[in-house]
Every structure is written in C-alpha cells, then in structure tokens.
C-alpha cells in the first residue's frame, strides 16, 4: 500500500476539511431534523392512541353521555350524529363533485373550463371555518336555531373540490380508445360516459369520495357554528346535533380529567378513521410500489 | 348596486340562451341533452356556491364596513358591550402564529425531505415517507386536544420558564407565563404544516433527473454539493409554492389554535408568551353571542378578512406550483 | 495515465454484470468499447471512475490501477477519483438554469481550483479545448439551456476538462446528437487525445473505426477481444468478434 503521494489524495489544507465538514453537517442536520420530526409525530399518534384505547370500551360506542365530569357513559349520540351529518353531506357534495369532475374532464373546453377549475381549486384553500360561517349566515341565523342540516351543508361544500379533482383526474386517464370504441358501436355520448368511462374510472372516484368523507368526518370548526353540539340524545336534523369532533372539543374544554379521558378516546377513533382510510386508499391505488 | 345587478342578470340570461342553443346542437339525442343539462346545472350550483360565499361574506359585513371602514383593522378592542369592534389583535395573532410556524417548519420540512430523498437508507424510504404523508391528514381536533391537555401545562411548568431563564434576553421570551400563549398556537401550527411542507418538498426533489446528479458526481462533488447545486435549484419554485400553501393552511386553522392560545387580547407585541387570539378563533368564540346588527356584522367581517388573506396566499402559491403541473401529494390530493 | 484492470467483476445486487475483466489501457490513446446492448461496456466504464457504486446494491471485486494506485483502495475517496477521471454522459446534462460560464466553472469552484481572474482564464481554456469558445464567447452569461444538443455536449466536455483530469471516460457521447454534431465531437475527441487518456463506449462500429486507436469487444459481461482497431476490424481473432463486426447479431 503506497503511502507516498498518489494521484487521488485529498486536497491539501482547509478546502478538503471544509467540504467534508459541510457534507457531514448536511447529513447530520437533515437526519436530525427528519428524526425529530418523524419521532415527534409518531410520539403524538402513539400518545393519543395509548390514552384513547385505555378508555375505549363497548359502552363508549353504545351509551349516551353520563353526567359531566364523571367517568362512564359514552358518545352514542355523537357517533350517530356524525354518521348522519356526514352521510347527508356526502349525499349533497358527492354528486356535485362528481358531475363537476365529469364536466371538467368531458365537456369543459376553453376559458370557461379554466375558470371553473380555478374556482374549484380555490375552494380547497378556504379555511373550513369560513364554510361554517357561510352556512351559519345562510341557514342558522334566518331560522334562529342551530341544525344538523346546516352542518351537512357546510361539510358538503368542503367535499366538492376533493371529489371533483379526483374524478377529473381519473376520468382523464381513461384511454381515448375506449370512448371512441363506444361511440363507434353507436352509443350516445351520455351512454358512453355513464356506461363505459365512469365504470373504468370507478376505483379512482371511490378513492376520491373516501378521502373527502374521511376529511370532513374529522372537521370541527364548520360544525361548531352550525350543528353546535348538544347533550340530548334525540336526533333531529333541524335541531342542534352532536358529532364526534364536537364532542371531543367539548370534552377538551371541560376541566374534568374524566372528560379528558373520553376526549382521548374520541380523538383516537377520529384519528383511526382518517389513518385507516388513507392507508386503505394508498394500498388500493398501489401507492406502496417503489418509485 | 341595483344597476350592477340588472346588468348581471341581462348578461347571464343572454349567456344562458346561447348555452341552451349550444346544448341543442351538441347533444342531438334527448338523453344526451338531459345529461349535459344536468351536468351544467350542477356545475352552475357549485359556481354559485363559490361566488355565493364571497358574496355572503361581503354583504353581511357591510354594516361594520360602513361604520368603521379601515379602522376595523386597527381598533384594538372587539367589544360588543360598547359596540366598538376591531380586529387588530386578531390580525396580529393570525399573522404572528402562522409566520412563526412557517419560519420554524420550513427548514425542518426541507431538511426532512432532503433526508428522505438522498440520505435515508433505501429500505426506510417508503415507510417513513408514508408516515409523513399520513400525518398530513390528522384532524386538527386531535392536535388541539393534545395541545390543551398536555402541551400547555408542560409549557407553563417547564418549557416557558426554561426559555425565559436561558433566552430571556430576547424580547420573544419575556413577559408573564400562562402556558396558553401565542407560542403554544405557533407550536401546534408547526406540527400541522410540517407534513405538507415535507411532502411537497419531497415530491419536487424526486423529480430532479438522475442525470443531473450524476453529472455533478462525475466532477467530484460530495453528496451535499450535489444537493446544493443540482437538486435544490431545480426544486426551489416547488418548495416556495409548498411553503406558501402551508402558510395558507396555518392562517386558516381554527380549532387547534383556539384551544391553546388563550383567547384574550394582550396588546400586540413580540412577546410570544402572551395570550392572544386569531381571526378564526374570534369567529369561533364570538358567533354564539353575536346579536344581529353590528355584532354579527363584525364576526362576518373578520371572516371576510380571513377569506381575503387566505385567497391571496393560495392563489399566489398555486401560481408558483402550477409551473410544475398540478400537485398530487402522496395519494392525498392537496 | 495508464489504466490496468485486473480480475474485475461487477454485480448489481445479485446479478453479475462483468466477469473477470483484464485490460491494459495505454496512456494518451483512445480506446473504444464496443459490443451489443447489455454486454457490460457501460458498466465497465463506470467501474473506472467509481460511478458504478452509486447504484444501490452494486459492488465490485478486483483492482483498477491508475499509474500504480488501485482506485478501489480503502484509503481513497471516490470523489477524488472522479475528479481525476472525468466522465461525459450519453445525454448532455449541463445545469439548465445556470449560465454557460457557471456550468464550466462549477467543478473548478467546489474543487477549489481557481478563483476570480484565474477562474475566468480556466473557463476560457476549457471552452477552447472543447472547441466551443468561438461559438459562445460573446454570451457566456446565457443559460446553458439555450445551446443546441451538440453544443451542450461540448459544454459538458468543457466542464469535465476544467477540473483537469488525466483520463476522460465517454459513455456513448454522440448517441443523442445529430450527424453533424457527432462529427464535430468526434474531431474534438481526436484532438483531446494528445492531452488525455480517453475511453469511449460506442455502439457505432464506424465511430470506433474512425476515432479509436485500440478497440475492446465485450459480450455478455466478458471481454472477448482487445487490440489495435485496424486489426480488430480486419482480422478479428475470436469468432464472436467476427460475428458482431459482420453484423450477424447485435
């Protein structure tokens, strides 16, 4: 092994050191940042999960709330409320979103389509409380009472862009040949879209719907101003209704530790809902394949 | 106002007539006509909704706009009792928490992205990236819960005293310690926007062609030099766009922030330990009591201001990102 | 600078790409590597400047000695190997959002070779060596993306010679270029021979015949034959060589 000067020796002096230090610093810092970020976010999930699971039991899902501050009781009205409100929101928002996606992919041409797309994109950037405010002014205030219906309206608007964009993207991916083939067989345009193109894009559209539903199921702010949340077990869309995020919110505000426990349980359910949906969607769309 | 309205209706009905004619030409079969018609109708509903939101915000804020004008932005008190309304502390709180979060989260996020793209062991790359993407979807109430029940007490008992003791010469860490604070709000926002920032940065860095990296490697560059000269310049626009999108998200966040920020105004200052409130927390806290008239209008004007700010930020971000095509971030449509 | 390759084997993970290569490359000469697709000629050349190991899971065994020093010795860092053994790639890959001047200067910059006025002189020298100076001397600040394909490739050659290597490796440098640019680059390569040892990979046998002093024929990861270009093309010793040259396959 030669120790005499050879061609591939590092630069003399400070330069080599500086380059090595810069390199190690970069590797070190980014690893540190990544480690800290991922560790912390992981810790958060685990923390909520740990405390949440502890308090979860069958009662949680089947019983109405007990007295404030006392252990025991569940969040049944909240869960029912969430299901109903989100269900209605989907019933309103999903068709609107799908047809907007159909328009943008199949019919839209030129400037009008760009304007539509732009406006739909804008919707994604609007804070969710604004939608709550909108539904509040439009429905709650004139009627002089809060209602689950208003909550559904607010949530439905939030769903529209997610569903529309997913639908549009996935419809665009359907090969032109399929459409041409259908038309060549004599099918009308609407038939082609309904019977050929959309079924081909089915999984992508369902993905978009699932993602939208998972997202709004966890939203609190819009519901705060519309459905308000309530302790009553009677459920009516034209009255204040409870929903899981609202219940967690109210539990959080209570000073009692017992309520905080329940809040963790509810938060855990919400978290799992969103995570499982995202995981399932990822898996179904093959997002796990290596780049 | 009347004039504008009637002009709009005339234009709209003329357009509508032209549309119907076009429909009749394009869709010759009755089913097609119906289908197209239905599609156009629903799209119209969506458009009206979008425009309607802006319209409703604007028209319902008119009372306070007319009463206070620009001073709405500078008045310190949101005071229903004396019928004076101002959002200066709220505006300040919104901007301060969001900017604080962005300033801290940006290097963290870009650094994490660099790690995930270049330095991470191959086997870990997919799972870690996946975890980061997932975290973008965590509902804010979950963060709010943790923030209120765990972080705030910790800040009050440990974190803030430590900061004040060792870094108290900085104006940021002076003042009374409550736990509930602008700092708490900012910290939660960091957690909220970090996944988005990382995910977008990662996406744009992965797009850099391998040939660029190889070209610099062949000149004898270190791994960091390759990133610095070949990857980051490519990714700059995308990262900037992502940062501004994240800012937009931080500006609009309501629930998590309102649970930890204290919701009481101190006069705007650099003291991060002060309690404060944001535009969105004002709305969330005050709407319940808002009586029709000036009070309600004030709440709505706060919403209008928030809407305008986030719209500007978002449009700006999308212009930046659109240079690279529409972003699809790890399966979760952004 | 001479290169002596002994018992070189290379793997991509589990699959082997090169089998027991032994080759001696003469200083100040042009050696061409020919062979059908997938025969390992690119892999071989990438082993000469330690670019092969950038692929995850890639490894080698054997030695590559340059002027007596094994570049794979433990004490030697790849980054310094690559500086002295430069590489030009098939697709021209200058940094698109930087100026022509910056592209040539960049290697010299971070290797600390020159600054200020000396750097400007180095850039000019390198561009002259790459036969590009006259075409760009008035627009050194223009973006590298504004150049044609042939010009970009010569720009890449310029930036490679700017770090003053001893050996130039070229992996199909003309495949992405039009015929006129190809001839220009081939002329350039012939001129560079007087300063550098050059190894060029090509799938174009006529190019090898035009440009190279010696030629090596690879097939399925093995070195089948190597010798003076004229001799390889007129009197190949191995049957496989003859089959390839006469076009029976590949």
Residues A157-186: pLDDT tens digits?
999 999 999 999 898 888 888 888 888 887
Q: Is A229 left (phi over 0), alpha (psi -120 to 50) or beta?
A: left
Assess whether A78 and A28 both reside in one domain. no
Among A9, A26, A55, which residue terminates a domain? A55
pLDDT at A5: 55
Assess whether A45 and A134 both reside in one domain. no
A146 vs B268: CA distance, rounded Å = 34
Mean pLDDT, residues A210-235 taken together: 86
Residue C250 lies in a domain: no
In total, how many domains does chain A have?
2
Residue A1 lies in a domain: no
pLDDT at B226: 92
Q: Between chains, do B214 and C94 touch, taking CB under 8 Å as contact?
A: no
Q: Between chains, do B333 and A208 touch, taking CB under 8 Å as contact?
A: yes
pLDDT at B1: 63
C183, C2 contact by CB (below 8 A) = no
Assess whether A88 and A49 both reside in one domain. no
pLDDT at A132: 92
Q: Please tell me the distance in Å from A136's CA to the nearest CA on chain B.
A: 9
Q: Between chains, do C84 and A8 touch, taking CB under 8 Å as contact?
A: yes
Virtual torsion, Cα A266, A269, A272, A278, nearest 10 deg: -90
Q: Between chains, do B116 and A31 touch, taking CB under 8 Å as contact?
A: no
Residue A289 lies in a domain: no
> B213, B219, B221, B224: which to substitute to probe chain C, counting the most C Cβ within 10 Å?
B219
Nearest CA in chain C to A2: C69
Running DSSP on this structure, what letter comes out for residue C111?
Answer: T
Q: Measured on CA atoms in the order B77, B185, B153, B167, is the torsion positive or negative?
A: negative
Assess whether A34 and A87 both reside in one domain. no
pLDDT at B25: 61
pLDDT at B104: 93
pLDDT at B330: 34
Q: Which residues pair with C197 in a beta bridge?
A: C167
Give chain B positions within 8 Å (CB) of C95. Answer: 212, 215, 229-230, 233
Nearest CA in chain B to C50: B218
Please report, in angstroms and rounded to a whole number, the separation of the first and last CA atoms in chain A: 42
Q: Which residue from B270, B261, B269, B254 is spatially nearest to B306, judged by alpha carbons?
A: B254
pLDDT at A1: 41
**Sorting pLDDT into bands at 50, 70 and 90, what band is A69?**
low
Q: Between chains, do A125 and B137 touch, taking CB under 8 Å as contact?
A: no
In total, how many domains does chain C have?
1
Other beta carbons within 10 angstroms of residue C220's beta carbon come to 13
Residue A9 lies in a domain: no
pLDDT at C250: 59
Assess whether A92 and A221 both reside in one domain. yes
Give chain A positions within 8 Å (CB) of B134. Answer: 275, 278-279
- A287 pLDDT exceeds 70? no
Query: Which residues contact residue A95 at a Cβ distance below 8 angstroms, ignoring those fewer than 6 apart?
Result: B42
Mean pLDDT, residues A14-35 taken together: 89
- What tokens appear for C179 in the block? 């015929």
Q: Between chains, do B233 and C51 touch, taking CB under 8 Å as contact?
A: no
Q: Which residues in chain B show pLDDT less than 50? A: 325-334
C214, C186 contact by CB (below 8 A) = no
Assess whether A113 and A200 both reside in one domain. yes
Q: Between chains, do B217 and C51 touch, taking CB under 8 Å as contact?
A: yes
Note the Cα A125 to chain centre separation in Å. 14
Assess whether A242 and A257 both reside in one domain. yes
B79, B265 contact by CB (below 8 A) = no
Query: Which residues contact residue B8 at a Cβ distance below 8 angstroms, ignoring those fewer than 6 apart?
Result: none
ipTM, interface predicted TM-score of the complex: 0.89
Q: Which long-range contacts (CB under 8 A, 24 or more apart) does C7-11 make?
A: C7/C61, C7/C62, C7/C63, C8/C44, C8/C47, C8/C60, C8/C61, C8/C62, C8/C63, C8/C64, C9/C60, C9/C61, C9/C62, C10/C40, C10/C43, C10/C44, C10/C47, C10/C52, C10/C58, C10/C59, C10/C60, C11/C58, C11/C59, C11/C60
Nearest CA in chain A to C82: A8
Pairing label, strands C3-12, C69-70: unpaired
Among A27, A55, A83, which residue terminates a domain? A55
Instruction: Give the orientation angle of helix A14-55 with respect to helix A257-284, to 10 degrees.
Output: 120
A271 vs A274: CA distance, rounded Å = 5
A152 vs A238: CA distance, rounded Å = 11
Using CB atoms, pick whichever of B215, B222, B233 lies closest to residue C89: B215
Assess whether A113 and A208 both reside in one domain. yes
Assess whether A114 and A243 both reside in one domain. yes
Please report, in angstroms and rounded to a whole number, the separation of the first and last CA atoms in chain C: 32
Give chain A positions within 8 Å (CB) of C75. Answer: 1
Using CB atoms, pick whichever of C67, C68, C77 lies closest to residue A10: C77
Using CB atoms, pick whichever of C86, C95, C107 lies closest to residue B230: C95
Residue A41 lies in a domain: yes
Counting one residue from chain A and one from chain C, the pairs whose CB atoms sit within 8 A come to 29
Assess whether A40 and A122 both reside in one domain. no
Q: Between chains, do B111 and A249 touch, taking CB under 8 Å as contact?
A: no
pLDDT at B23: 64
Q: Going along chain B, which residue ranges are E strands?
A: 328-329, 332-333
Query: Which residues contact residue B132 at a Cβ distance below 8 angstroms, ignoring those fewer than 6 apart?
Result: A37, A38, A41, B112, B116, B195, B198, B199, B202
Q: Residue-wise over A257-273: b if at least 16 C-beta within 10 A, else e?
A: ebbbbbbbbbbbbbbbb
The boundaries of the domain holding residue C193 are 3-245
Residue A198 lies in a domain: yes
C43 vs B212: CA distance, rounded Å = 19
pLDDT at B324: 55
Instruction: Give the orientation angle of helix A148-172 with respect to helix A76-102, to 10 degrees.
Output: 40
Q: Please tell me the distance in Å from C85's CA to the nearest CA on chain A.
A: 10
Query: Which residues contact residue B136 at a Cβ distance below 8 angstroms, ignoring those fewer than 6 apart?
Result: B195, B196, B199, B329, B332
Residue A13 lies in a domain: no
Half-sphere exposure of C223 (CA within 13 A, CB side): 22
Using CB atoms, pick whichever of B120, B145, B292 lies closest to residue A267: B145
A252, B148 contact by CB (below 8 A) = yes
Give chain B positions within 8 Å (CB) of A171. Answer: none
Other beta carbons within 10 angstroms of residue A80's beta carbon come to 17
Query: Which residues contact residue B124 at a Cβ distance below 8 angstroms, ignoring those fewer than 6 apart?
Result: none
Q: Which residue from B205, B251, B261 is spatially nearest to B228, judged by alpha carbons?
A: B205
CATH number at residue C199: 3.40.50.300
Q: Which residue from B106, B127, B316 is spatially nearest to B193, judged by alpha carbons?
A: B106
Distances in Å between the alpha carbon of A251 and those of A45, A47, A221?
A: 19, 17, 15
Residue C77 lies in a domain: yes
pLDDT at B110: 93
The boundaries of the domain holding residue A218 are 61-284
Q: Which residues in chain C show pLDDT less than 50? A: none
Among A55, A74, A102, which residue terminates a domain? A55
CATH number at residue A180: 1.10.3720.10
pLDDT at B332: 35
B110 vs B194: CA distance, rounded Å = 9
Assess whether A38 and A127 both reside in one domain. no
Assess whether A65 and A29 both reside in one domain. no
Rounded to a whole number, what is the largest CA-CA distance in chain C? 57
Distances in Å between the alpha carbon of C92 and those of C145, C156, C176, C203, C244?
A: 10, 7, 8, 17, 28
């Amino acid at each position: 092994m030669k120790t005499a000067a050879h061609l591939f020796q590092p630069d003399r002096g400070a330069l080599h050191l500086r380059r090595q230090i810069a390199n190690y610093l970069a590797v070190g810092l980014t690893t540190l940042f990544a480690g800290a970020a991922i560790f912390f976010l992981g810790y958060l999930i685990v923390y909520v999960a740990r405390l949440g699971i502890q308090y979860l039991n069958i009662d949680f899902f089947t019983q109405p709330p007990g007295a404030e501050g006392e252990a025991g009781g569940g969040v049944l009205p909240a869960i029912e409320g969430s299901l109903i409100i989100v269900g209605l929101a989907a019933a309103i928002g999903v068709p609107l979103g799908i047809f907007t996606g159909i328009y943008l992919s199949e019919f839209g041409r030129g400037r009008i389509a760009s304007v539509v797309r732009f406006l739909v994109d804008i919707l994604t950037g609007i804070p969710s409380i604004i939608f709550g405010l909108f539904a509040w002014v439009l429905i709650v205030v004139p009627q002089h009472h809060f209602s689950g219906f208003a909550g559904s309206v607010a949530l439905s608007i939030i769903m529209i862009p997610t569903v529309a964009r997913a639908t549009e993207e996935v419809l665009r991916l359907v090969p032109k040949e399929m459409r041409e083939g259908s038309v060549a067989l004599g099918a009308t345009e609407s038939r082609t879209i309904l019977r050929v193109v959309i079924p081909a894009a089915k999984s992508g559209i369902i993905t978009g719907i699932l993602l939208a539903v998972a997202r709004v199921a966890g939203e609190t702010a819009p519901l705060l101003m519309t459905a308000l949340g309530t302790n009553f077990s009677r459920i009516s869309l034209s009255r204040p209704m409870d929903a899981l995020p609202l219940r967690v919110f109210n539990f959080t505000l209570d000073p009692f530790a017992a309520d905080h426990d329940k809040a963790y349980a509810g938060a855990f359910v919400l978290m799992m809902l969103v995570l499982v949906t995202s995981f399932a969607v990822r898996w179904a769309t093959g997002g796990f394949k290596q780049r | 106002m009347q004039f504008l309205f009637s002009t709009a209706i005339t234009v709209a009905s003329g357009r509508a007539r032209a549309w119907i004619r076009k429909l009749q030409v394009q869709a010759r079969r009755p089913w097609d006509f119906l289908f197209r018609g239905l599609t156009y109708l629903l799209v119209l509903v969506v458009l009206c909704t979008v425009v309607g939101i802006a319209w409703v915000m604007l028209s319902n804020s008119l009372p306070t706009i007319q009463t206070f004008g620009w001073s709405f932005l500078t008045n310190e008190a949101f005071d229903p009792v004396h019928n004076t309304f101002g959002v200066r502390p709220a505006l300040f709180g919104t901007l301060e928490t969001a900017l604080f979060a962005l300033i801290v989260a940006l290097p963290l996020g870009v650094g994490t992205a660099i790690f995930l793209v270049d330095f991470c062991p191959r086997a870990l790359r997919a799972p870690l990236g996946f975890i980061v993407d997932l975290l973008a979807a965590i509902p804010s109430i979950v963060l709010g819960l943790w923030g209120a029940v765990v972080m705030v007490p910790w800040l009050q008992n440990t974190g803030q005293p430590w900061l004040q003791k060792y870094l108290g010469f900085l104006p940021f860490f002076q003042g009374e310690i409550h736990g509930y604070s602008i700092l708490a709000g900012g910290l939660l926002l960091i957690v909220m926007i970090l996944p988005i920032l990382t995910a977008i940065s990662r996406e744009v860095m992965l797009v850099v062609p391998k040939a660029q990296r190889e070209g610099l490697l062949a000149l004898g560059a270190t791994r960091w030099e390759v990133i610095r000269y070949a990857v980051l310049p490519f990714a700059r626009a995308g990262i900037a766009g992502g940062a501004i999108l994240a800012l937009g998200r931080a500006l609009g966040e309501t629930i998590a922030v309102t649970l930890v920020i204290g919701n009481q105004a101190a006069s705007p200052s650099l003291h991060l330990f002060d309690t404060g409130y944001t535009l969105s927390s004002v709305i969330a806290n005050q709407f319940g009591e808002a009586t029709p008239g000036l009070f309600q209008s004030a709440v709505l004007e706060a919403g209008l201001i928030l809407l305008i700010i986030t719209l500007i930020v978002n449009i700006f971000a999308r212009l930046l990102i659109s240079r690279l095509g529409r972003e699809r971030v790890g399966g979760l449509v952004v | 600078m001479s290169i002596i390759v002994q018992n070189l084997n290379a793997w991509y993970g589990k699959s082997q790409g090169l089998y027991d290569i032994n080759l001696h490359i003469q200083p100040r000469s042009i050696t061409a590597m020919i062979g059908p697709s997938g025969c390992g000629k690119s892999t071989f050349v990438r082993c000469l400047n330690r670019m092969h190991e950038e692929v995850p899971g890639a490894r080698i065994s054997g030695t590559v000695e340059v002027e007596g020093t094994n570049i794979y010795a433990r004490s030697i860092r790849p980054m310094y190997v690559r500086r002295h053994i430069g590489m030009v790639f098939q697709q021209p890959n200058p940094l698109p959002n930087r100026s022509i001047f910056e592209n040539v200067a960049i290697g010299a910059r971070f290797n600390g070779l020159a600054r200020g006025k000396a750097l400007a002189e180095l850039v000019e020298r390198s561009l002259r060596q790459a036969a590009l100076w006259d075409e760009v001397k008035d627009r050194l600040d223009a973006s590298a993306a504004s150049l044609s394909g042939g010009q970009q490739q010569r720009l890449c050659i310029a930036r490679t010679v700017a770090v003053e290597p001893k050996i130039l490796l070229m992996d199909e440098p003309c495949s992405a270029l039009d015929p006129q640019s190809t001839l220009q680059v081939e002329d350039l390569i012939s001129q560079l021979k007087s300063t550098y040892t050059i190894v060029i990979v090509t799938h174009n046998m006529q190019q090898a015949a035009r440009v190279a002093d010696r030629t090596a024929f690879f097939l399925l990861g093995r070195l089948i034959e190597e010798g003076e270009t004229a001799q390889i093309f007129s009197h190949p010793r191995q049957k496989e060589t003859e089959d390839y040259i006469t076009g029976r396959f590949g």
